[in-house]
A = this chain, B = another copy of it.
């Protein structure tokens, strides 16, 4: 059974609520970790970091950097500059992990876009190291290959990560994105110390929506506990983040969402 002390509540699981509202609800419900998004931390990340610290919350990661592929050199540089800012924001929030969602290709050249991801990580990795921030490549589900991430398998993410230090570049393993993969247990074992984060949710049948149709743990078909045990056997002992994009869930009160997340977490993760 997963220990509630390891549950991290990803802010987007309560889509409509502000970071402050989510933080207060976490405290009320005994949650010790939070996963904020950049759009929610405002102009002053140090202030947001101090607020979370004052609430006694630990920050598991910042979502998200990445989005490296672009049609022009100038635009690719803009993306890199934005990632450098994201690294500073992560440091200001006292988290050692920036999640990278790597972006789609600007045209049909998916191989070219994949190389832009490698180049993009190469362009920011030293700055990340200097700020004590690790970079977590999140392979997304292949259904997002055309509009969100050209990195869609753990195998490929591992090939990219292997080009950098294992202390600096690793993977964000999200069950929603990787559960279907016939190589998933082999890849989890291979990832080992490069597992920088573990995210849980569920895959509902039929899928209500590719982006907004993630399910609460237990409502779908994913073998969540088996995957959790596999990432732990591979050496991961960090926080377990619950990240669910689901409109029906978002329509509920934040306290209600967090209480159900905690209950399902204890029972099913």
Contact = CB atoms under 8 A, between A and B. Distances in A.
Interface residues of A, number: 31
A182 B155 contact: yes
Interface stretch (A66-74, A128-136, A144-152, A249-257): A144-152
Contacts of A221: 105, 108, 110, 146
Nearest to A104: B205
A196 interface: no
List 9 tightest A-B contacts by C-beta distance, closest first: A145-B180, A143-B143, A156-B182, A142-B180, A146-B205, A142-B142, A146-B221, A108-B221, A147-B205
B146 A143 contact: no
A146 B203 contact: yes
Contacts of A210: 143, 207, 210
Nearest to A226: B108
A153 interface: yes
A153 B182 contact: yes
Contact of A143 (B104, B114, B141, B156): B141
29 contacts: A104-B205, A105-B221, A108-B221, A108-B222, A108-B223, A109-B223, A110-B179, A110-B180, A110-B221, A110-B223, A114-B182, A142-B143, A142-B181, A143-B207, A143-B210, A145-B179, A145-B180, A146-B203, A146-B205, A146-B207, A147-B205, A147-B207, A152-B181, A152-B182, A153-B181, A153-B182, A156-B182, A159-B182, A210-B210
